[in-house]
Amino acid sequence: MNHPLSVYNSLSRKKEPFIPMNPPFVGLYVCGPTVYGDAHLGHARPAITFDLVFRYLQHLGYKVRYVRNITDVGHLENDADAGEDKIGKKARLEQLEPMEVVQYYSDRYHEDMDSLNVKKPSIEPRASGHIIEQIEMVKAILKAGFAYEVNGSVYFDVAKYNKSHNYGKLSGRLLEDMMAGCRNLEGQEEKRNSVDFALWKKASPEHIMRWPSPWSEGFPGWHLECSTMSTKYLGEEFDIHGGGMDLLFPHHECEIAQSNAANGKDAVRYWLHNNMITINGQKMGKSLGNFITLREFFSGQHKGLERAYHPMTIRFFILQAHYRSTLDFSNEALDAAEKGLKRLLQAQETLHKIAASKQSSVEVSSIGQKCYEAMNDDFNSPVAIAQLFDAVRIINAVFDKKESLSEADLAELKSIFDTFLTDIFGLISTSGSVSEHLHGLIDGLMEMILDIRQNARQQKDWGTSDKIRDGLNNLNIVVKDGKGGAEWKLNP
């Protein structure tokens, strides 16, 4: 690892050198979606941010185990452990089994992520598949004395925990302020303090999603699943935990408390948080009703959109801002992103049309180094992208014969674009779909095969020629020999 990477740790509130516990292995956990509706632009940001982190760590040579969960139980409408389960509610309204809702929206989430060229995580555990592990963790927290049971529900005792630990160390909040600012909401009567949070909730008679436990038939609290599943797949201590800034409190603060209570130590070494996407300066969110789904972006079917946008435009729009900066959505910003991405992709193609000269008239050796420096500075993609735009000016000038590039420098630029634009930023051609791409590939392969057959025929090697024809016939590809050479078609 020749590239010293620094990351901004939300816990220490500063940039720190990234030193994994067990190199070359890196454990990365990111909070995934609660699957009760289509993903919107706000969901694309953490997915793309941590896809960038995942890709870059892999590029540096780390073997990354990336765990991103699916929340399919326990996420209630209200953060203070009240209200209906989000998935249970959707299932009730649609008259579906909750797991039908989960399957449907998980599948659609995966399709959206594929469109955005977001790599699949190494493991994608579901909360409902880890109820036993969650119950075990509740037991451990009870045994350590940091939780209490009331009427079949178990709550985390924040005030008691805070006596020996620091509840609020991630968010920077003080317990006294939190307790003073907390309203007494309905359904909170069981708690000793309004800041306490549920580890296990007894299910009300109408609650659909329920499992047996030592305390009651019920369901786990939302914060518990991430502590449990990260421990299960990455160990009691691991390298990076990521998520949106909106999850920092209470979700991640509670995760820290749970790990300390159950295992006696912090689980996470580096906490990374992406900032929010705003719409006219306001947070975009389902609960705020001002969100646009990714599918609406791809189709243009939304009153806030002037037209459809390619998934790669959305990806580039997000990567053009540093992940810790806010990013304001507008049609104009997406138009600009589309133009910028087109320039980069065209320059990458142009690189293959340029003929090398004996000598370079321009300096390109520092571009790659500057891209690495930017990425090593807390994944600063916008600064690295600016370097690529500098390269575009050089490429276009060389194409116009105003400048020249040596063979070595040309190869260097190709390598920089393939490494950063394609592999690390995951930005791929916006013209043509996968099927068009495959068509081109098949045409090329057929041309090559028929060329080999033509050669065989010329040498009167009928054995090879017939073997190729019969082999193609078996694949339903019919070859016809004509005056202008062989033609082929696919039998339906």
**Which two structure tokens, joined as six digits, stand for 157?**
């005792």
Q: Per rule CB under 5 A, is residue 261 in the interface with Zn ion? A: no
3-state secondary structure of 362: coil
CB-based contacts of 99: which residues, under 8 Å, 6+ apart?
72, 128
Helices (H), 310-378: 311-319, 331-350, 365-376
Measured CA angle at 297 (ends 72, 49), to 5 deg: 60
Q: Return the range that interacts with Zn ion (CB under 5 A); candidates 23-31, 39-47, 96-104, 117-125.
A: 23-31
Please work out the total of residues on this chain that contact Zn ion, with binding judged by CB under 5 A. Answer: 2
Q: Per rule CB under 5 A, is residue 7 in the interface with Zn ion? A: no
- Dihedral sign for Cα 231, 82, 151, 260, please: positive
Q: Return the range that interacts with Zn ion (CB under 5 A); candidates 122-130, 178-186, 219-227, 433-441.
A: 219-227
* Residue placing its CB nearer to Zn ion in the complex, 90 or 241: 241
Closest distance between Zn ion and the C-beta of residue 378, in Å? Answer: 22
- Please tell me the distance from the alpha carbon of residue 241 to that of residue 260, in angstroms, as a whole number: 15
Residues in the chain: 492
- Please tell me the distance from the alpha carbon of residue 50 to that of residue 44, in angstroms, as a whole number: 10
Q: Per rule CB under 5 A, is residue 147 in the interface with Zn ion? A: no
User: Dmax over Cα atoms in the chain, in whole Å?
Assistant: 93
How many helices (H) does the chain have, and how many strands (E)?
16, 17
Closest distance between Zn ion and the C-beta of residue 31, in Å? Answer: 3
* Residue placing its CB nearer to Zn ion in the complex, 28 or 226: 226
* Residue placing its CB nearer to Zn ion in the complex, 201 or 453: 201
Q: Cβ(102)–Cβ(87) under 8 Å?
A: yes
Q: Per rule CB under 5 A, is residue 256 in the interface with Zn ion? A: no
CB-based contacts of 133: which residues, under 8 Å, 6+ apart?
228, 229, 231, 232
Q: Per rule CB under 5 A, is residue 224 in the interface with Zn ion? A: no
3-state secondary structure of 3: coil
Q: Per rule CB under 5 A, is residue 35 in the interface with Zn ion? A: no
Q: Per rule CB under 5 A, is residue 31 in the interface with Zn ion? A: yes
Q: Return the range that interacts with Zn ion (CB under 5 A); candidates 117-125, 205-213, 226-234, 346-354.
A: 226-234
Q: Per rule CB under 5 A, is residue 113 in the interface with Zn ion? A: no
Query: Using the rule CB under 5 A, which residue among 226, 262, 384, 394 binds Zn ion?
Result: 226
Closest distance between Zn ion and the C-beta of residue 433, in Å? Answer: 34
Q: Per rule CB under 5 A, is residue 131 in the interface with Zn ion? A: no
Number of Cβ within 10 Å of residue 463's Cβ equals: 9
* Residue placing its CB nearer to Zn ion in the complex, 191 or 241: 241
Closest distance between Zn ion and the C-beta of residue 381, in Å? Answer: 24
* Residue placing its CB nearer to Zn ion in the complex, 273 or 310: 273
Applying CB under 5 A, which residues contact Zn ion? 31, 226
